[in-house]
Amino acid sequence: MGNIAMKVPYFFWASLFFLTGFCLPGVAQTQEKVDFERDVKPVLDRSCSACHGAKAQMGGLRLDAKSTAMAGGQSGKAIMPGDGAHSPLYLRTAGAGDQPRMPMGGKPLPPEQLAILKRWIDEGAAWPDGVGAQNAAVKKHWAYVAPVRPALPAVREAAWPRNPVDRFVLARLEKEGLAHSPETDKITLLRRASLDLTGLPPTAAEVKAFLADSSPRAYEKQVERLLASPHYGERWARIWLDAARYADSDGFEKDKPRWVWFYRDWVIQAFNRDLPYDQFLEQQLAGDLMARTAKSAAEAQELRVATGFLRNSMINEEGGIDPEQFRMEAMFDRMDAVGKAMLGVTIQCAQCHNHKFDPLTQEEYYKLFAFLNNSHESNAAVYTPGERKLRQQVLSRVAGLESALEKRMPDWRARLKAMSSQPGDWTTVNLAAEDISTGGQKFLEMGDGSMLASGYAPTKSRVKLQGKTAATGITAMRLELLMDPNLPRGGPGRSIKGTGALTEFEAEVAPVDDPSKVMPVKFVRALADVNLKEAPIDAIYRDKEELAGKKEPRVTGPVAYAIDGDDKTAWGIDDGPARRNQPRNAVFIASKPFGFPGGTLVTVYLKQNHGGWNSDDNQNYNMGRMRVSVTTLAEPKPVLPESFELLRERVPEWAAENAEIEKVWNGHPEGSTQLVLNERAERRMTNILSRGDFLKPGKAVEPGVPAFLHALPAKLTPDEPARLTFARWVAARNSPTTARSFVNRVWQSYFGTGLVETPEDLGKQSPAPSHPELLDWLAVEFMDGGWKVKDLHRAIVTSATYRQSSRLTPELKERDLFNRLLARGPRVRVEGEIVRDIALAASGLLNDEVGGPSVFPPAPSFLFQPPASYGPKVWDEAKGTERYRRALYTFRYRSVPYPMLTNFDTPNGDIACVRRTRSNTPLQALTTLNEPLFFEAAQALGKLTMHDGGATDRQRLVFAFERCTSRKPTAAEEAELTAFLNKQQKRFQEPGRAWTAMARLLLNLDETITKE
Amino acid sequence: MTSRRWFVRECPIGMGALALNHLMGATLEDPMAPKKPHFAPKAKRVVFLFMAGAPSHLEMFDYKPQLEKFDGTLPPADLLKGYRAAFINPNSRLMGPRFKFSKHGQSGAELSELIPHTAAIADDLTIVKSMVTDAFNHAPGQLLMNTGSQQFGRPSFGAWTLYGLGSETRDLPAFVVFSSGKKGPSGGNSCWGSGFIPTVYQGVQFRSSGDPVLYLSNPPGVDGELQRDTLDSARRLNQMRLEATGDPEIETRINSFEMAYRMQSSAPELMDLSKEPQHILDMYGAVPGKPSFANNCLLTRRLLERGVRFVQLYHEAWDQHGSLVKDIQINCKDTDQASAALVKDLKQRGLLEDTIVIWGGEFGRTPMVQGTGKPDGRDHHPNAFTMWMAGGGLKPGLVLGETDELGFNVARNKVHVHDLHATLLNQLGFDHTKLTYRFQGRDFRLTDVHGNVVREMLA
C-alpha cells in the first residue's frame, strides 16, 4: 500500500510535467477553453487530493468529486464559477491574503497551473458529469452522518419480538439462518437484570417475590423496581466514571489525595433522577457557566460540581515542573476524555499532526481545544444539603447580630477609614523568585506585581524574592495575600483550606549600583488586618514528633509572630471555615527609614516553615498569591476592607456581643471541596502547537468545530460564552456520534461487546457495526424520547434478545462464539467492583449506604509506604461498617491502585476508559480465595448460614448456595457440596470452620462472579 | 490490500488473532501462550535495573576533564540557548566530577571509582554514553523510558514484551516488578502498566519479604488440605456449570485456580534465598530475610531460571539535587556489586546470552551545580546520560557514543529512548514498527512513530 501511495503523486507529477511542458503553451497560444479532465483534474489530483480527497477532507473540503468540490468546505465555497479571482481555490493556492498558501506544507503551484485554475473557474468551472469520484463513493462515512430512524425490518417469526430491538436482531439471525435462544429461566433473568441495573445480586426475598408473581408483566415490574433503586445510579455511575477517568488522587509522583467525591455523587444522582443525557453532558462541560443563572445556591453548586468531569485530569506537582506544561497535558487529557466519553471520536492523534485516518485536522483539534482553554483550575468549597442549611443559619444569625451593633455605631465606616491606609499610599515592588531558593516551587508573575505560587508545594521553605525600587525614605513594607481562582477555595493560601502561615518575614536592602553592600532591614512593629489568638497548628501541618507528642506543636497567632525571630511561631490567617478565604495584608514597620538615592535592591525572604513532615502529601501551609509594596508614610497602616467585623472586634465594651458572634461562627460547617472549572474573564489565546509541544506555539486559532461533524449551533443569547455553545454542540440532536456512542456503550455493558466493538472510536477505522440499523434506531429513539437513559435501559432489558438463555450450544460455538449476532443472552464475569459487591452482599456484610467521601477498606499497608509507593500515603483502614461499602466508594490512588480491583481489570483513572479488558488470571483466583475482605465475607456467610440457614445441613447448604448464585443447587451439585461439607466437618471440631470453608468455596465459584 | 489480509490471518503478532480476540472482548485463547516473534530472537528475557531518580553520568560513567578544568565557571551562553532546567537557573556554575576515573578491561572503558564491581565486568557491557530523552521531570521521564510516551495510558516495555512473546512459565507471573531504595518510582504503577492492551500483560509487584505476591498465603485457619479440597470441589462444580452453559471461559477459570495453587507452592520456594550457597550470597551481597536491591537481584536470577520473561527492579534513590557526594556513594554501594553479580551469575549459568540486562535511569544530571553555600548537587538533565546493557546479543565491551567536553550534549552516536526501545525489541525478535496494537483506530507501537535500531550496539 505504502509503495502505491508513494507512486501515485509521482505518476501524476510525470504526467503533469508532460502537460505543463507541452500542452500549456498550446493553451496559452490558442486560448482554447480549459478542459477540466485534461488540464485541471491532474492539478487537483496531484496537489490537493492527499488532503482534500477520498482519504482526508481537511477543512471539510473534498476536491476529487464534483458534488463535494462545488459544495465547498467548512469555510464556504471553494469554487465560485465565473469568478476565479475571488474563488478560494485560486486565492489559497496563489498564496493571496494572510492565510497559508496551499498546498499546505507542499510546493507552491507553478504559475502556469495557477493560471489554469483561475481560467477554468472564470470560464464557468465546467466539470463534466461522470468525471472524478462518483457521488455514491463520496458518501460520508456512516459514523459522520447523523442517524435517522430506520424502518423496522420484516421478520418471519413475528411472534418472537417483544419490541423493535428484537426486530433488528431477529432479522439478522434469520438472514444468517440462526435460531435465537429460548428465554432464560426466571431466576437467571432476575439475577442478570439486577446485576446489570444495580450491580448487586437479587436478595432471596426478591427472587421469591418474582417467582410468585405470575402476572404477565411480572418481569417489567422488577425492571421498574430496579430502575427506581438508589443502587441503579451507583452501577451506571461507575461505568461513566471510567470514561470520566475518576480517581481520588492527583496522579504523577506526588499523587496527593484530592476531593472530588461530590462529582462522583453528582453522577450517581444524575442517573438516579434520570437527568436527560444531553443535559448530563452540557452540565459537565459548562456547568459553571450555567450556574450563573441558577435559581438557588444549591442548584449553582450542583452545576459547578458537574464540571469536575473536566477536572479529573491528573495534576503534576513534582518539584521543578513547569506548571504551564502540565496544564497543557491536562488540556490534552480533557480533549481525549471529551472525544472518548462524549463524542465517541478519537481526536488525540490530531494533537500533534493532522489525523491520519479520520478527517480531523490539527487546526481543527486546536479549535476544539480553544473552547476549553479559558478556565481557571479551581477548587471550590462545597456543602452537603445539611451543611448548607446550617451555613445559611449561621450567616443570617451573624448578620442579625452585627446589624444590631451597627445601629449602635452609625459612623463605623468613617472610624474604620481612619484606621486604614489608602491604596495609593503604597508602591508595589515587582519581585521575582530566585529559582534555587524555591525548592522547585514556581512563582508565576501575575502582571499586577503579585506572584502566584504553583507547582511543587514544599512544606518548609525560605523563598528569596528580589526586586528594585526607586523609593527612598521607606518606612514600612507591606505583604498582601491575594485571592486567586486557582488556589484552593480561592486562597489566599495554598493549603488545602486555602490558608497559609508566615513563619518569618525578613528583608535586606542594597544599593542598586553596589549590590554587594547588603544591609538587613530591622522590623520593629507589625500590623495586619487579622490578628488571631495563638493556636497550635492543625494535625495535618504537624511534624512527626509533634504528632507523637514528643514536641509541642508549632503555633500561629498575631502578625507580630512573623518578625519575632522564632521559627515556632507564625502569623496565621485561618479564621475558621466561614472567614478564612479572604485577602489579607500585613505591614512591617522598619526601625528606621531606608532606600538608596540611586535605587534600592530589595530582597525579601518569606520563611514558611509551618507545614507538615511530608511534602508528598497535602501538608503545605504556604501562602498562595502575594504582593509586596513599600511606603514612606510616617504612620503606615494596613489597607482595611469595609468590614464591620474589623471594627466591632476592637470595641472593648462589646466583648460579650463579640463572643456571641464568634460562637455563632464556630457553628459554621467545614464543608468539603471539589475540583471545578471557572471561566476566566480575560480570554486566553489558543495556538496550534507544533507536534503538541507547548513550547512551539504556531498560528493562533479561534474556537470552532471540525467540518466532518455537525455545525456549531447558533448562540442562544448574543453573549453566550463559547464553552456553553460548545456544550450544546456536543449534546446536539444532529450530532452524528454523541447518541450513537452512548447507546453503543450501554449495549456493551449488557452484552459484553458493543454494536460497534470499539466504543472509543466510532470513526473510519472502527469495524462496521454488527447491527447498524439497531444502533441508529436506539440512538434516534434515545434522542427523540428526550435522552432518557432509563428508557434506553427499558428498551434493552425488556427485549426478547436480552431475555434469551446464555447457553452456548455447539452450533453457536461453531458459528458465533463471540455472540456478535446475539443468538443468545450474555454470559460474562462481572466487573471488579461487582465481584467485590457480590461477596459483600452474599455474606450479608454489605453496607449499602449511597454517596459520601471515599472509604479505605483493608489493603496491604506496605503498598502505601516507600519503597512500594513514591511517598508515604495515608490509608486509614476503616474499622467499622465503612469497610463493607460498595467497591465504587473505595479510595482510588492513581499511582497505587487498590490491588483487588486492579486484579479484576479496573482502570486506575490515568486516562478515559470506555472499554475495560476482561481477564481471567491466577491473581484473580488468589484474590477471591485469600484476600482478607473476601475471607471476612466467607466467615460472615458461614456464620449467617449456621444462624439463619435452617435446621439441617441440607437446608443450610442450599441457603448458602442460593446467597451466592440466587438459585438452588442441582442434585449433583448438592452431592458435591455435601461431600465437601462432611469432610470438613470431620476435620474441624468447631462447626464454624466447616461452614466458613463451605462459604469460601461457594464465593469462589465461577458462577458467583458471573452474570449468566 | 492483500498484505493486510495476510496480517489478519497469518501474522503471529500485530493485527493477529490475539488482538482480534481482544476486540471481541473474549479471552478464549490463552493470551500468555508462548509466541514466536517476527524473526529469530537473540534474547528471550529482559532484566531492567531501573535507577529511578536519574544517576549522575558525570560521576559514574562519563569522565570530563574539561568540566573539571572549568569547575566554578559559568557555562558558555550558547550552550544554554533554549535550555530549561527543573530547579536551577541554567546559568549556574559548572561543577567538575567529584570522583576519580580510570580505564578498565580490554575495552578500556573509563569508569569511576564508585563502581568497582561494574568496572570489573566492563568487557561484558555495552555502555551507551550518548543517551538522550525528551523529559526532564521524573514521572514523565520514567514513563517515557518505560512506555515510550510521557503521557499516561500506554503499555510498558514489559507489557509489550509479554504481548509479543507470551510466557514460558505457568506457575509464576511473567512480568515481575521489585522496588528498593528510598521510595517507589515517581511514575507509580503506570511504569509497569498495560495501558490499552489486555491487563494480563501488566507487571506484578513482588515483595522481597513476606508474601512475594499479594494474597499468596491461605487465610488463617485454611491449611493445605482444605485449600486442595476447596479447589477440587470448585473444579468439579465449575465443570458441572461448564456442561450446563457451554461457556469455555469456565475452563479458563478452572485453569486459573490451578495456576494459583501452583503459584502458592512455587513462589515461596522461589523466594527462599537461604538455600543459595554462601558464595553466591556473598557475590551479590545478599542477606536472606533482609530486603535489599542485592536480594532482588538474586531473586531475579531465580525468576529467570523459572521461566519469567521480564523482571524490573526499581531502585529510586538517585535524585541528587544535594548531598551528591555522600548519597551517590551510598547508592553505588547498594547497587554496584549486585548489578555486576547478576551479570556474572547469569553468564556463568549460560543465561546471559539470551537475557538482556539493562541498567539506567530516566535522564542524566546537569554539568552545572545545584545548591547554595557549599553546593553539592546536580539538577535534572535530559540532553545526555549513560546506560549500560549486557547479554542478549548486544556487543560486549563496547562503549558507544560521546558527549561534548562538558557532558552537556551528545556529540556522537545519539541514542534516543525510542532508539533504545527499537534496539531492545530487535533483540527480542521484533521489528519495532510491526509490533503493534490497534486502539482508537490506530496501530500503536512502543516506539510510537520514532526509533531506529542502533546497529552499532549489536554483536
Contact B240 A972 (CB under 8 A): yes
- Between positions 428 and 487 of A, the ones with CB within 8 A of B are 434-437, 439-440
> Considering all CA atoms of chain B, what is the largest pairwise distance in Å, rounded to the nearest integer?
80
Residues 6+ apart with CB under 8 A from B102: B110, B111, B113, B119
CA distances from B262 to B255, B257, B265 (A): 11, 9, 5
Bridge partners (DSSP) listed for residue A378: A676
Are the C-beta atoms of A463 and A454 separated by less than 8 Å?
no
User: Which of these, A371, A732, A774, A433, lies nearest to A608 by C-alpha position?
Assistant: A433
C-alpha cell at A431: 519581585
CA distance A252 to A108: 46
Give A973's contacts in chain B (Cβ within 8 Å): 237, 240
Q: Which of B199, B263, B441 lies closest to A346 in CB terms?
A: B441
- Rg, Å, chain B Cα set: 23
Place of cell 503604597: A426
User: Rounded mean pLDDT of A922-941?
Assistant: 97
Give B181's contacts in chain A (Cβ within 8 Å): 866-867
Contact A860 B23 (CB under 8 A): no
Place of cell 552516536: B413
Would you kindly state where each structural domain of chain A is located, as residue ranges?
2-135, 144-228+739-824, 276-384+671-736, 390-420+641-667, 422-639, 932-1011
- Helix B249-271 and helix B224-245: axis angle, to 10°? 160
Contact B219 A932 (CB under 8 A): yes
CA-CA-CA-CA torsion sign (B161, B163, B168, B174): positive
User: Rounded mean pLDDT of A168-195?
Assistant: 97
Chain B nearest C-alpha distance from A69 (Å): 27
Q: What is the pLDDT of residues A296-342, one digit of tens each?
A: 999 999 999 999 999 999 999 998 899 999 999 999 999 999 999 99
Instruction: Give the pLDDT score at B23.
Output: 36
User: Which of these, B88, B83, B152, B21, lies nearest to B384 by C-alpha position?
Assistant: B83
What pTM, to 2 d.p., does this model score? 0.87
pLDDT band at A5 (very low <50, low <70, confident <90, very high): very low
Lowest mean pLDDT, pick from A20-24, A597-601, A813-817, A839-843? A20-24
Residues 6+ apart with CB under 8 A from A952: none
CA distance B357 to A961: 51
Contact A357 B441 (CB under 8 A): yes
Contact A764 B441 (CB under 8 A): yes
Instruction: Give the pLDDT score at A356.
Output: 64
Q: What is the pLDDT of residues A243-286, one digit of tens each?
A: 999 999 999 999 999 999 999 999 999 999 999 999 999 999 99
Q: Tell me which of B30 and B85 has the higher pLDDT.
A: B85
Give A1012's contacts in chain B (Cβ within 8 Å): 245
pLDDT band at A20 (very low <50, low <70, confident <90, very high): very low
Q: What is the pLDDT of residues B97-110, one digit of tens each?
A: 999 999 999 999 99
Instruction: Give the pLDDT score at A70.
Output: 80
Q: Tell me which of A130 and B420 has the higher pLDDT.
A: B420
Q: What is the pLDDT of residues B328-355, one digit of tens each?
A: 999 999 999 999 999 999 999 999 999 9
SS3 category, A462: strand
Bridge partners (DSSP) listed for residue B183: B316
Instruction: Give the pLDDT score at A4.
Output: 34
A329 in contact with chain B, both atoms CB, cutoff 8 A: yes
Contact B240 A973 (CB under 8 A): yes
Instruction: Give the pLDDT score at B291.
Output: 92
Asked if residue B5 has pLDDT above 70, the reply is no
Q: What is the mean pLDDT of chain A?
A: 92
CA distance B201 to A882: 33
Instruction: Give the pLDDT score at A956.
Output: 98
Three state DSSP letters for B385-437: EEEEEEECCECCCEEECEECCCCCCEEECCEEHHHHHHHHHHHCCCCCCCCCE
**DSSP labels, A734-782:** T-SSHHHHHHHHHHHHHHSS-SSS-TT--STTSPPPSSHHHHHHHHHHH
- DSSP letter at A248 equals S
Q: What is the pLDDT of residues A452-466, one digit of tens each?
A: 999 999 999 999 999
Instruction: Give the pLDDT score at B27.
Output: 40
Contact A897 B189 (CB under 8 A): yes
Please classify residue A880 by burial: count the beta carbons closer than 10 Å to its beta carbon, then call 0-12 exposed, 13-18 middle and 19+ buried. Answer: exposed
Asked if residue A58 has pLDDT above 80, the reply is no
CA distances from A725 to A282, A372, B310 (A): 9, 11, 50
- DSSP letter at A847 equals B
SS3 category, B246: coil
CA distance A677 to A307: 6
C-alpha cell at A966: 440466587
pLDDT band at B24 (very low <50, low <70, confident <90, very high): very low
Bridge partners (DSSP) listed for residue A377: A677
CA distance A1002 to A838: 12
Give A809's contacts in chain B (Cβ within 8 Å): 246
pLDDT band at A139 (very low <50, low <70, confident <90, very high): low
Closest residue of chain B to A974, computed from CA coordinates: B237
A584: part of which helix (H) or strand (E)? Answer: strand A584-594
Lowest mean pLDDT, pick from B18-32, B218-232, B396-410? B18-32
User: Which of these, A274, A143, A289, lies nearest to A197 by C-alpha position?
Assistant: A274
Instruction: Give the pLDDT score at A1007.
Output: 98
B77 in contact with chain A, both atoms CB, cutoff 8 A: no
Q: Which of B85, B183, B226 lies closest to A871 in CB terms?
A: B183
Q: Which of B214, B257, B370 lies closest to A436 in CB terms?
A: B370
- Between positions 927 and 966 of A, the ones with CB within 8 A of B are 927, 929-932, 935, 938
Are the C-beta atoms of A273 and A789 separated by less than 8 Å?
no
